[in-house]
Every structure is written in structure tokens, then in C-alpha cells.
Amino acid sequence: MHVRPFKCDVAGCSLTTGFPYKKDLKRHQRDKHTDEGGAYYCPYSWCNYSRPQREQNGRKGMRHDNYMRHMKKVHYGFGQWPRETE
């Protein structure tokens, strides 16, 4: 069994399994519980990962690493790499 000693203490957080490393907990709290995380959106408006599509579904943008993976896998690396902060 994997040990996940670092638990999120933010009230109402649905993630109860915890994290194996403190850095993972900090990333989770930054991305899910602040406005700092998830600032990347797909530049293609028809894509499910574009800003309008994500906001319509109540989702924030992606982390940079997930954004880069999305662009490589789905759009084969085409397009610009804009960072949207608003």
C-alpha cells in the first residue's frame, strides 16, 4: 500500500487520498485552491481545452506541463504557446 501522508486541509476539498510528497500537496493547493494555478488554455477555440470550453464546464486552465503534453499529443505541437492570465 502506498503511503500518502500529506492531506489537503482546505475546507470542502474533495481530494481525500492525500499525496506522497509535500511538493505534490503544495502544487495541488496552488492549482486547485488559488488563482495562481491553471493559467494555460488551448489556443484553438473549438478544442475542449480552450478557455470558453473549460469555463463553460466550470474548469480552470491547465498547468504548463499538461498544456505542453496536450499540444504535442492533440495538435502535434502546432500553434503558439500563449499564457492567458485572465
User: Model confidence at 78, in pLDDT bands (50, 70, 90)?
Assistant: low
Q: What is the grid cell recorded at 67? A: 498544456
- SS3 state at 40: strand
pTM exceeding the 0.85 threshold for the entire prediction: no
Residue percentage of the chain with pLDDT more than 70: 87
Cα angle: 81, vertex 84, 14; to 5 degrees: 110
Residues 15-45 pLDDT 10s: 889 999 999 999 999 888 887 777 889 999 8
The confidence score (pLDDT) of residue 35 equals 77
